[in-house]
Amino acid sequence: MLFSRLLIPTLKENPAEAEAVSHRLLLRAGMIRKLASGIYNYLPLGLRVLRKVERIVREEMDRAGAQEVLMPAVQPAELWHESRRWQVYGKELLRFQDRHGRDCCFGPTHEEVITDLVRKEVHSYRQLPLNLYQIQVKFRDEIRPRFGLIRGREFIMKDAYSFDADETGAEACYRLMYDAYNRIFTRCGLVFKVVEADSGPIGGSFSHEFMVLADTGEDLLASCTSCDYAANLEKAAVALEPGSASKPAGDALELVHTPKVRTVEEVAAFLKVTPADIVKTLIYETDEGSVAVLIRGDHEVNEVKVKNLLGVTDLILAGLIRVQELTGAEVGFAGPVGLKLPIYADQAVARMNAMITGANRDNYHLKQVHPGRDMKITEVADLRSITAQDPCPRCRGALMLLRGIEVGHIFKLGLKYSKALKAAYLDAEGKEQYLYMGCYGIGVSRIMAAAIEQGHDANGIIFPVALAPLQVGLIPIALNDPAVRECVEGLHADLEAAGLEVLLDDRDERPGVKFKDCDLLGLPFRVVVGAKALAQGAAEVRHRGAPDNLMVPLQDLIPYLKDQIAQELHV
């Protein structure tokens, strides 16, 4: 390929709109261009990266026994009403009407469509197991699209759906997909971790996320240093400390004047206590009514855990006026004593002997509050986010918190959709049974961004060989030198004939410009041919990210490059 004939509009300066490293470098490398908020065009080199990801995904999905299909992007609302997700999914679901006034949506996922397809075509246990997948454009109307391809509104996704006769079969398919995903991300050259995860609006009993580790990742995950436990912060369970529930102390409640002291930090300083001695009373509005959540002052509430406990879809902190209506006090002075709301307490709160809470009275707090004596707790549960100071919930070893980018998610759906849409089959005895389902997603376009977040330096992208748009950047020094031109053109032809992907920079630019663009594009190998190297019968080779150049004899160049590439591809 010739640089001069390709659309590669590189940029020297960082675009002001780009926050994430991958967003900045993809724009600078001319791989994507923004069309609208969270919606991007893929230019030739960016599309080459996507196609490489897709090829790896297809090969491993096919190897695992899945079959490729292609489903419509536009879905009728009737299916979503059947699954009861039309309102549950939230505002991320792009709803619209066609010219006949029929409600539709642009698919963010395809559980309803695939279940509808299978219920019409699969009727016997002899047709099972079945695993169908597609690679297709999805749309989720994110309220704040950000970080380029990491959280866009339109994106490319691989979604697969399995159908089995029973739970045992579904478990076996889940394990097949788990192993296939590990192979996919390994082949992509990514450093990743598999973590237990919350199933969110997709539903199901259990799920795992595949997280690319990167300091710039927007997700936090907890990982044990002693065992293989890992979970994202939404899911990570907090181990209950040894001991039993506390017993009331003999001290009576004490009302304390705390003028204009609202935050945990302010109350702790004013009363000369630690944040762990204070309990926050958080008032939430849910689709089932208002509730209070109690959390220790040095902890943070985990709203996903609260939503799962309550079985609600909406969970929103109450506003200033609503808090006053429910507690009789301004925000900062709410407390559980005398509160006429369902009260859900984190397990650490239930273990406290005495605590400091708001008094439901402006400028006052209560001391010596006991959970078993002074309030009526509806339920005690794990409602907080885990910290690096907590022990591993599995082995009680030390935890570390890492940042990552979710690139894959697999779910055990069970009977959630098959029951709702009445997808059934006849077993060997002629009895009707519901299909057991699984769901398996990969963010194809997000992988490209995640690889860059993990691999980059001050000069640009450092792509894994498996994902790089081209493997070799061939750069001539003084292309107007007949000997150099003849050598480079011959090399270009020989390298391509040997099956290598080569970008010949034939532009009339200074060598420094060509070097910078080669690094910016993340091409794994740079081969430089100039009069000086040519006089030695060699070319100057540099591996992207390596500190030094290597002089390789021209006759050894192709075997050398093929060997290096094969090593990185593990073939």
Over the stretch 393-406, which tens digit does the pLDDT of each residue have? Answer: 999 999 999 999 99
- Asked whether residue 269 carries a pLDDT value surpassing 70, the answer given is yes
Strands 130-139 and 67-68 turn out to be parallel
Q: Report d(CA 436, CA 124) in Å as an integer.
A: 13
Task: Give percent of the chain with pLDDT exceeding 90.
Answer: 87
Host domain of residue 534: 470-569
| Number of domains present in the structure of the chain | 3
Order of strands, edge to edge, in the sheet holding 279-286?
315-317, 279-286, 289-296, 343-346, 379-381
In-domain check, residue 18:
yes
The CATH number of residue 425's host domain is: 3.30.930.10
Pair (232, 153) in one structural domain: yes
SS3 annotation, 372-440: CCCCCCCEEECCECCCCCCECCCCCCEEEEEEEEEEEEEEEEECHHHHHCCCEEECCCCCEEECEEEEE
Q: Please report how the helices 21-28 and 444-454 are oriented relative to each other, as an axis angle in degrees rounded to 10.
A: 100
More confident residue, 102 or 250: 102
For 48: left if phi > 0, alpha if psi spans -120 to 50, otherwise beta; the answer is: alpha
Range 372-376 average pLDDT: 91
Q: Give me the pLDDT at residue 5, please.
A: 96
Q: Give me the pLDDT at residue 172, please.
A: 96
Pair (56, 191) in one structural domain: yes
Binning the chain into helix, strand and coil, the percentages to the nearest 5 are 30, 30, 40
- Cross-strand pairs, 460: 457
Q: Give me the pLDDT at residue 91, please.
A: 87
Pair (96, 232) in one structural domain: yes
Confidence class of residue 199 from pLDDT cuts 50, 70 and 90?
A: low
Q: Give me the pLDDT at residue 197, please.
A: 80
Average pLDDT, the chain: 94
- Residue 403 φ/ψ, nearest 5 degrees: -105, 145
In-domain check, residue 68:
yes
Q: Report d(CA 357, CA 93) in Å as an integer.
A: 40
Range 449-462 average pLDDT: 96
Q: 346 with 295: CB under 8 angstroms?
A: yes
Pair (93, 204) in one structural domain: yes
Q: Give me the pLDDT at residue 478, please.
A: 86
SS3 annotation, 29-94: CCCEEEEECCEEEECHHHHHHHHHHHHHHHHHHHHCCCEECCCCCEEEHHHHHHCCCCCCCCCCCE
Pair (213, 102) in one structural domain: yes
In-domain check, residue 422:
yes
Pair (314, 437) in one structural domain: no
Range 435-442 average pLDDT: 97
Q: Report d(CA 146, CA 22) in Å as an integer.
A: 11
Q: Give me the pLDDT at residue 235, please.
A: 86
Q: 33 with 43: CB under 8 angstroms?
A: yes
- Cross-strand pairs, 550: 541
pTM over 0.75: yes
Last residue of some domain: 453, 482, 498?
453
- Asked whether residue 245 carries a pLDDT value surpassing 70, the answer given is no
The count of other CB atoms within 10 Å of the CB of residue 243 is 7
Confidence class of residue 275 from pLDDT cuts 50, 70 and 90?
A: very high
Last residue of some domain: 346, 381, 416?
381
Q: Residues 322, 325, 330, CA angle at the centre, nearest 5°?
A: 80
- Asked whether residue 224 carries a pLDDT value surpassing 80, the answer given is yes
Pair (233, 258) in one structural domain: no
Range 38-67 average pLDDT: 98
The CATH number of residue 508's host domain is: 3.40.50.800
Q: Is the dihedral of CA 147, 150, 156, 161 positive or negative?
A: negative
- Asked whether residue 83 carries a pLDDT value surpassing 90, the answer given is yes
In-domain check, residue 245:
no
Residue 100 neighbours by CB under 8 Å, 6+ apart: none
Pair (78, 227) in one structural domain: yes
Q: Please report how the helices 44-63 and 444-454 are oriented relative to each other, as an axis angle in degrees rounded to 10.
A: 110
In-domain check, residue 339:
yes
Q: Which helix (H) or strand (E) holds 28?
A: helix 21-28
**pLDDT, tens digit, 9 for 90 and up, residues 125-140:** 999 999 999 999 999 9
Q: Give me the pLDDT at residue 89, please.
A: 86
The CATH number of residue 354's host domain is: 3.90.960.10
Pair (323, 448) in one structural domain: no
Q: Give me the pLDDT at residue 249, please.
A: 60
In-domain check, residue 395:
no
Last residue of some domain: 453, 479, 514?
453
Confidence class of residue 518 from pLDDT cuts 50, 70 and 90?
A: very high
Pair (411, 358) in one structural domain: no
Q: Report d(CA 38, CA 11) in Å as an integer.
A: 20
**Cis? peptide before 129, omega within 30° of 0:** yes
Pair (81, 205) in one structural domain: yes
Alpha carbon 488 to its chain's center:
43
| HSE-CB for 511 with a 13 A CA cutoff | 11
Range 529-554 average pLDDT: 93
- Asked whether residue 186 carries a pLDDT value surpassing 90, the answer given is yes
In-domain check, residue 1:
no
- Cross-strand pairs, 155: 138
In-domain check, residue 548:
yes
- Cross-strand pairs, 257: 364
- Asked whether residue 102 carries a pLDDT value surpassing 90, the answer given is yes
Pair (303, 428) in one structural domain: no
Q: Give me the pLDDT at residue 90, please.
A: 82
